[in-house]
């Protein structure tokens, strides 16, 4: 039950922060959903750092890893918004933004995870 509560709390905080970043960075009319892109890249970096720290130093307990990686990062990042925004870009015949957003999100997201793991490895 404690682990469920940790994931719940972490997910709630991550979701609220994602909402606020989206409100700040996603203008009403845009050709690029910057807010979702930013949270997905930051979330990828965060999960790389969290998992890297947890595995390298063993200073994060399983509970903290659940709170931060599963809960916070799971709530902060969002594949469903990413998919919906891509559908919206295609529906508005904005093929170039669709291609750029999709490829940039995947490539930069993966690179951010690797960067987080690498940063921890160097420390």
The per-residue pLDDT for range 53-74, each reduced to its tens digit, is 988 878 889 999 999 999 999 9
Tell me the C-alpha distance between 118 and 48, whole Å. 8
pLDDT digits (tens, 9 = 90+) for 81-101: 888 889 989 999 999 999 999
In percent, how much of the chain has pLDDT > 90?
69
Dist. CA 81–CA 106, nearest whole Å: 14
Axis-axis angle for helices 95-122, 79-91 (nearest 10): 160
Q: Please check the confidence at residue 29 and state whether its pLDDT lies above 70.
A: no
Structurally, the chain folds into a number of domains equal to 1
Say how far apart CA 111 and CA 43 lie, in whole Å.
12
Q: Say whether pLDDT at 75 is over 90.
A: yes
pTM equals: 0.81
**Distance in angstroms (rounded) separating the CA atoms of residues 28 and 35:** 12
Residue range(s) defining the domain that contains residue 104: 2-26+33-122
């Amino acid at each position: 039950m404690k682990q469920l509560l940790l994931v719940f709390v972490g997910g709630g905080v991550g979701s609220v922060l994602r909402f606020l970043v989206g409100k700040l960075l996603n203008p009403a009319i845009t050709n690029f959903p910057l807010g979702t892109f930013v949270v997905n890249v930051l979330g990828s970096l965060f999960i790389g750092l969290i998992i890297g720290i947890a595995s390298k130093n063993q200073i994060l307990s399983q509970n903290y890893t659940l709170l931060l990686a599963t809960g916070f990062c799971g709530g902060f990042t969002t594949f469903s918004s990413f998919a919906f925004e891509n559908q919206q870009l295609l529906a508005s015949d904005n093929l170039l933004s669709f291609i750029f957003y999709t490829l940039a999100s995947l490539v930069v997201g993966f690179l951010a995870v690797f960067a987080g793991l690498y940063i921890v490895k160097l420390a």
